[in-house]
Amino acid sequence: MDTACCPWRPLGELLVERGILTEVGLEMAITEQRRTGRLLGVILVESGRVGAGELARALAEQHGVELRERDATAAGVVSSSERGREHGSAASKVPGQDGWRRPLGVLLVEWEFLAQGELDAALAEQRRRPELRLGEILVSLGYLTGPELARALALQHGVYVPEAELDTGLETVIVPAAPGQHVYLVADVVFDPDYRPTSILYSSTNLLEASEFAMEHVDEHEPKAIEIQRVSGTTRETVWTYSEARAAALVASRKRPVETFGFDPINWGAS
């Protein structure tokens, strides 16, 4: 993969680069993922190829937050000391197969990692600076520690990580997105009185993940309209839109050929 063209680092690639996983082990896990549809992280941990804590650290790194050994020196180090907030029985909070498609912020509030006011403030900051990922904002503002973010991301991907797996011997380091790296935002859209995006539902540096989330959101919640925005620095453009009214009009337009010909000529011959 050309990382200059696609700066998002896939989970498996990160694990192989860190020497945590072999290429053969990754290929076997991907084969099982394609066969079963299960999440890659769950497959890797259950097979014993990757530890739960190692998986959590790799997921946090995808969000711009690295957990490093304390003797590492780098700009952007944030204290990783625990704040003493109780999260309840985290083991019982592991979501189902589709849990990763739910917005991270919503899950963090449900699991009591965050207060709703903290999430609202972080989302407001992301609207102001959309090139930032939600995880790095939450850690930079002190609403989450690095280990908390890592554990929450692992939970989102179906893996429970005990607190002891991510001990206080780790430093939290914010690693800003590289210049030119794209961030994809899924946002609610309203048209009354004027067209404007409102709340950000999901963010990712991977377009495929953002697209999958958007389609799941349309199927489950039937929004009036949503869009995917591509953000790079101060540049923002809309790369995908969905409108309930436009979808209804498309369905209506396809009824007319059926009524005329007795079949749908658009799909004639399709299996």
Place of tokens 């019982």: 92
Which tens digits make up the pLDDT trace of 145-164?
999 999 999 998 889 998 88
b (16+ CB within 10 A) / e for 231-253: beeeeeeeebebbeeeeeeeeee
| Predicted local distance difference test score (pLDDT) of residue 131 | 73
Query: Which residues fall within 8 angstroms of residue 17, CB to CB, at 6 or more apart?
Result: none
Alpha-carbon gap, residue 147 to 163, rounded angstroms? 8
pLDDT at 72: 53
Question: How far are the Cα atoms of 24, 38, 159, 167 from residue 29, in angstroms, in the given order?
Answer: 9, 10, 16, 28
Ranges of the chain with pLDDT below 70: 1-9, 71-101, 168, 250-271
> Sheet holding 183-190: strands in order across?
196-204, 183-190, 225-232, 235-243
Element (H, E) at 108: helix 104-110
Confidence (pLDDT) at 118: 95
**pLDDT value at residue 265:** 59
Tens of pLDDT, residue by residue over 36-79, are 888 888 999 999 999 999 999 999 988 889 998 876 555 555 55
CA–CA separation, 49 vs 83, rounded Å? 32
Domain ranges, ordered by start, for the chain = 11-174, 183-246
pLDDT at 185: 86
